[in-house]
Chains A and B, each alone.
Chain A
């Protein structure tokens, strides 16, 4: 994979992108990959926190990982691979600063930063984990919302632009440019690497959590129903979620988000039947749900609720927890779910939440009630929202309005990206389709 200043190759240090160093280099490669996975974000954060130059930090680290692959097979894996990588990366930063020469101001800052880093990073002590600051920078209000998640995935996890672009349905070159621009903005606008003050923390944290959750949902039409083979960036998002709970354990929303993602992930195996057909949540075989993951999600959510600070992600996790109950009780408490959605809508009136609320209402009050809730939604916001049309079609069918239902099914099929979902909707829409 080419690396260069266009930003498309920022992931040079990402394990999957490290080219094989030959048979004799496999140990070194494994060690480099391990170091990459565990310390890539830490090293980027540490270097960038001083220079504010995320791109330069990534470039320097990319070079360091490349150097590791070349040298380690000969000299053996160093005792402290992270320290080795950081030393080499810093040397590259100094070189880069020297080459940049004329760009005096930037270079001077960079040089100071590097010297400072050298003094601070005494390897007898643990070097500070600046990833939380980096996460807050990635989701800073001055950063375009659409760029936050991609930036986070690249800066903290080292994913390359092409992979991120696929997940977000953006052309790889455009994603590369977007990332380059946003990193230049961080550097040039002088966005500070810091943990926001207490008063500002909730709002800023929400942006960080949103960005992580967007990674979980990336490339999915609907998290609850997506193709299990199309994993998107679910694993990466859960990894970031776990990291956040470690970095900010006192904030219950970080735990809420992790619990939510684990609940969704627990059902991955049940979303398709043996022949690959889409299975909606209400008809999933609970035996296929991952009990350990549900158990972990429940423990995390329960612990979070002790803080007595409810939030959007805790509520969303609670809704998924209510669905998970079916594995134990054999039934779904739609009344409880509708209530939770009411609370969620008060906090975050997203289209997704409002459509889901209508679905719950339909179970509690009948299809008329659900349909009334759908009718209340602004038509602009739902015109291409597949779950809206799928639910609308389903409710119209239950009401016996066959013509309207067929039309709504066609609309749902027309805006669906997933072939299995399309087939499911087509079966539902045809006369012989059984009802959910």
Chain B
């Protein structure tokens, strides 16, 4: 089954990406995690996302476009990236989600993908 691991990061995580003192640890952990997913043969895809202040949100209401600067919802933690993995069951997906570096600092959400 395919599952998506959604990574919600706090401001400190986003700043760690470019902070001279912290960026090696941040990227090192994600590189290692991505490699572990690939080596285990469960990786389907994924992406890292730019911070939420670069987001633009669009709604179509009564035929009118509403365009808004910023993310869909303001929250302390914002979507920072996601992985799609293929594993036998939810237990296996949770095992992998727990290893995601974002789980230790923010929160990771695991959702089964709709079958396509």
Chain A positions near chain B (C-beta within 8 angstroms):
169-171, 174, 383-384, 409-419, 422-423, 426
Contacts and interface: CB of A to CB of B under 8 A. Distances in A.
A414 B36 CA distance: 5
A411 B36 contact: yes
Nearest to A165: B94
Contacts of A423: 25
B101 A419 contact: yes
Contacts, number: 56
A389 to B, nearest CB: 9
B97 to A, nearest CB: 9
A422 B33 CA distance: 11
Contacts of B98: 169, 417
A412 to B, nearest CB: 8
B91 interface: yes
A169, A383, A409, A413 pick with most chain B CB within 10 angstroms: A413
B35 A410 contact: yes
B29 A422 contact: yes
Nearest to A414: B36
B28 interface: yes
B95 A169 contact: yes
Contacts of A409: 32
Given A383-B39, A423-B25, A413 B94 contact: no
A401 B72 CA distance: 49
B55 interface: no
Contacts of A419: 101, 104-105
A419 B101 CA distance: 7
A310 B90 CA distance: 39
Nearest to B95: A169
A411 B90 contact: no
Contacts of A170: 91, 94
A169 B99 CA distance: 11
B90 A171 contact: yes
A426 B94 contact: no
Given A169-B94, A410-B31, A411-B32, A416 B99 contact: yes
DSSP class of B's interface residues: helix, strand, loop or mixed? helix
B110 to A, nearest CB: 8
B54 interface: no
A131 to B, nearest CB: 29
A426 B101 CA distance: 13
A413 B32 contact: yes
Interface string B1-28: 0000000000000000000000011001
21 contacts: A169-B98, A170-B91, A383-B39, A383-B40, A384-B40, A410-B31, A410-B35, A411-B35, A411-B39, A412-B32, A413-B28, A413-B33, A414-B33, A414-B35, A414-B36, A414-B37, A414-B39, A417-B98, A419-B101, A422-B29, A422-B101
Interface in B28-71: 28-29, 31-37, 39-40
Nearest to A420: B104
Contacts of A416: 99
B104 A418 contact: yes
A305 to B, nearest CB: 37
A415 B99 contact: yes
B35 A417 contact: no
Contacts of B33: 413-414
Nearest to B104: A419
A426 B99 contact: no
Contacts of A413: 28-29, 32-33
Contacts of B34: 414
A426 B25 contact: yes
B29 A426 contact: yes
B30 to A, nearest CB: 9
Nearest to A429: B28
B3 to A, nearest CB: 12
A175 to B, nearest CB: 11
A415 B36 contact: yes
Contacts of A171: 90, 94
Given A383-B39, A413-B33, A416-B99, 20 more contacts: A169-B98, A170-B94, A174-B90, A383-B40, A384-B40, A409-B32, A410-B28, A410-B31, A410-B35, A411-B32, A413-B32, A414-B35, A414-B36, A414-B99, A415-B36, A417-B103, A419-B105, A422-B29, A426-B24, A426-B28
B25, B28, B35, B94 pick with most chain A CB within 10 angstroms: B28
Contacts of B32: 409-414, 422
A307 to B, nearest CB: 38
A384 B36 CA distance: 8
Contacts of A422: 29, 32, 101, 104
